[in-house]
Amino acid sequence: MPGHTVRPLQAADRAEHLRMRIGLWPDEDPTDLAQSIDQLLGDPNQVAFVAERPGGGLCGMVEAGIRPFANGVDESPCAFVEGWWVDADVRRSGVGRSLLEAVEDWARGRGFHELGSDALLENTLSHTAHRALGFEERERTVNFRKFL
């Protein structure tokens, strides 16, 4: 990934990080996404890494945390990728791989042997990226709800 540096998220990255979070979760309320950045920065059981553009700004991010359990992961508790975004203009250049390697190091450093993740069924681009980086598909689900 020549020219891109991966490092932990800093408070000064807030605007760029929010931009990527909105891109990743377009159906979420931007105010809620902004407020949860503070929670992310202050929680020792969560982590975020960002990829810097050579000329300034950011071009990718990954967020991970420790969950009590996750579907498809045998460890409990487990390390889990909560969000992963790479700007379209730098995809397939190694940015995503470097971001995930940072999370893998973080998880190993906390004694985990597995890293969980998920993607929407229709997000085949994410499925391909996950497989390319060594993830194996464990199961598929359809979630339901009923208003009472």
CATH of the domain at 41: 3.40.630.30
Residue 31 forms part of a structural domain: yes
Query: Which residue's entry shows tokens 């807030």?
Result: 14
Question: Mind listing the pLDDT tens digit for each residue in 63-81?
Answer: 999 999 999 999 999 999 9
C-alpha 63/C-alpha 53 separation (Å) is: 18
Taking alpha carbons only, the member of 117, 120, 102 closest to residue 47 is: 102
Task: Please check whether residue 101 lies inside any domain of the structure.
Answer: yes
Give the model confidence (pLDDT) of 98-130 as tens digits. Answer: 999 999 999 999 999 999 999 989 999 999 999
Q: How confident is the model at residue 144 (pLDDT cuts 50, 70, 90)?
A: confident
- pLDDT at position 1, please? 41
Other Cβ atoms less than 10 A from the Cβ of 15: the count is 11
**Domain span including residue 61:** 5-65+82-113
Q: Look at residues 80, 62, 82, 84 and name the one whose alpha carbon lies nearest to residue 72.
A: 80
pTM listed for this prediction: 0.91
Residue 136 in any domain: the answer is no
Average pLDDT of the chain to the nearest whole number: 93
Q: How many domains, in total, are found in the chain?
A: 1
Q: Is residue 102 part of a domain?
A: yes
Structural domain contains residue 70: no
